[in-house]
Structure 1
């Protein structure tokens, strides 16, 4: 008896090669899934950059404060420090010198307005010394030009809610220091 081999069974078990232009649905989904993840990550990164930029924009002090340390307020070319403690005029000036500053000199009406807006309700020592005949000298040795009225007959000047007045130098008040803005 001659044995015959059936080729039909063998033909069914051999997989047919897949043409490179044809892909299964599973392969297409895998590629698109990876592509979707990359798009999602890119969008997430962009949204995070926008979020961080927005936070920085709204929390960083504006240009008027640039060049001034924390706790100081910038106006024009100067930085101002408004003390929270009280001291006599000489101690106030010393406290300013520790901060590489001096008691403030008021040069313009705009500067006066700025200082009055930021000083709170307390009186603050400034860098003006008066004499008996209502002439005065700023601590930078420039003569007081009477651009505003100074109330009182004492030697040391302070800024109040009503303007500038004088008091005995040993009285304790808050003080305002000023110095030039850092340009570096």
Structure 2
């Protein structure tokens, strides 16, 4: 009777250990790193509010800059609020950076996501592609080489 009782206790203990590993240890080891990497921005990206921003170190034309953003599952940044404008202006330092605003064929300004620019800030110049400079947003010929700013939403 004692031996059967010990086998029964050992079996219950083994099941308890397996249950603990399956329900506690495995979710922590597998799920937690996924949550951490989704919450934070990738290396070399800067978090601001719900987005991640990449400020390039090299210079390219507007189309190449946009392509470089797309390889990182991002696009050239749009500027939706004054807070975002202030953040971008402060963080970019003194270099001009391409942003995701262009002039369409019918002479309206459009963001890279297809929405029409609502003119909440001034855009200087009559070029086709927009950049953020020391004096705000201006335009230039798209083949000019500048640094650029990518933006992507931070995944929660």
TM over 0.5, shorter chain: yes
**Equivalent residue for 1:146, pick from 113, 119, 125:** 119
Using structure 2 for the length normalisation, give the TM-score: 0.72
CA RMSD of aligned residues (A): 1.4
1:113 aligns with 2:86: yes
Structure 1 residue 148: deviation in Å?
0.4
Aligned residue in 2 for 1:179: 152
List alignment gaps of at least 5 residues for structure 2. 1-38
Superimposed CA distance per residue, residues 40-59 of structure 1 (whole angstroms, 9 cap, x where no aligned partner):
xxxxxxxxxxxxxxxxxxxx
**Equivalent residue for 2:56, pick from 83, 87, 90:** 83
Q: CA separation in 2, counterparts of 1:119 and 1:133?
A: 31
Superimposed CA distance per residue, residues 88-128 of structure 1 (whole angstroms, 9 cap, x where no aligned partner):
00000000001110000100011000000100211000000
Structure 1 residue 182: deviation in Å?
2.4
Secondary structure at the counterpart of residue 65 of structure 2: helix
Secondary structure at the counterpart of residue 119 of structure 2: coil
- Between 107-116 and 127-136, the greater mean CA deviation after superposition: 127-136
**Equivalent residue for 1:170, pick from 143, 146, 155:** 143
Secondary structure at the counterpart of residue 67 of structure 2: helix
List alignment gaps of at least 5 residues for structure 1. 1-65
Using structure 1 for the length normalisation, give the TM-score: 0.62
Structure 1 residue 133: deviation in Å?
8.0
Check the 8 A contact 1:136/1:144 in 2, yes or no. yes
Aligned residue in 2 for 1:104: 77
1:128 aligns with 2:101: yes
1:10-159 correspondence runs (5 A):
67-131=40-104, 135-159=108-132
Check the 8 A contact 1:105/1:128 in 2, yes or no. yes
Aligned residue in 2 for 1:161: 134
Structure 1 residue 135: deviation in Å?
2.9
Higher relative contact order (CA 8 A, sep 6+): 2
